[in-house]
Amino acid sequence: AQSVSQHNHHVILSEAASLELGCNYSYGGTVNLFWYVQYPGQHLQLLLKYFSGDPLVKGIKGFEAEFIKSKFSFNLRKPSVQWSDTAEYFCAVNAADSGGYQKVTFGTGTKLQVIP
Amino acid sequence: EAQVTQNPRYLITVTGKKLTVTCSQNMNHEYMSWYRQDPGLGLRQIYYSMNVEVTDKGDVPEGYKVSRKEKRNFPLILESPSPNQTSLYFCASSTPTGTSDSYSQYFGPGTRLTVL
């Protein structure tokens, strides 16, 4: 079974600080990887995704993530956070199970609070 | 406008009273899914559907039913709700097939359910 771990549950940063949120997954096969963001009171929105190719992917709002296959990791980064980045961030893995269906597993989320 | 809609947005009910939460998408997506979001647990997949009449259990299917009679609709049914089903529920849809948008999930606005 696939699983996703997000080790940072709550992160507090000052504006302009750099951000890195960890995500590790457990699955032996081919995976698609995602980061979603949930702003307070809103539904989830896609930040970025990795399917194949360049392991460094860029998303919206200046976010990027690097897929390191050997470490089963897909960490999210942003060089300089803003107050408006205050939100909860979810890493997700999409992998085909033995039946060929697509199960999606989310991490438990990381709450980011940016202090002006 | 491409969107996923859910109804109702808020629901308070009592134990044992059957309820249905509707979900509809206008993007002709094959894949639809239901999640529940609980503090500290992130999003957990309840059921998913790869296409019409094709559904499968996610990680927490107990106490829930789904149906997929039409491509656009994917209702979530609680036959006999219990207090441990009090949660925030999200419906999502995506297309699994060969586009740059594949597997990127579009989420509905959420349904906050309270079971007394």
Distance from CA of A68 to the nearest CA of B (A): 20
A44–chain B Cβ distance below 8 A for any pair: yes
Extract the tokens encoding B25.
């998408």
Q: End-to-end distance of chain B based on CA atoms, in angstroms?
A: 36
pLDDT of residue B98: 60
- CA pair distance B43, B35, nearest whole angstrom: 6
- Summarize pLDDT for B50-105 with one digit per residue, the tens: 889 999 998 899 999 999 999 999 999 999 999 999 999 999 998 866 666 667 88
Provide the CA B94 distance to its chain's centre, in angstroms. Answer: 13
Residue B45, pLDDT > 60, answer yes
> How many whole angstroms from its chain centre is CA B60?
12
Closest-CA distance, A37 to chain B, in angstroms, reads 11
Q: Look at residue A28 in the predicted model and tell me its pLDDT.
A: 77
- DSSP single-letter state for residue B105: P
pLDDT digits 0-9 by tens, A42-95: 889 999 999 888 999 999 999 999 999 999 999 999 999 999 999 999 999 987
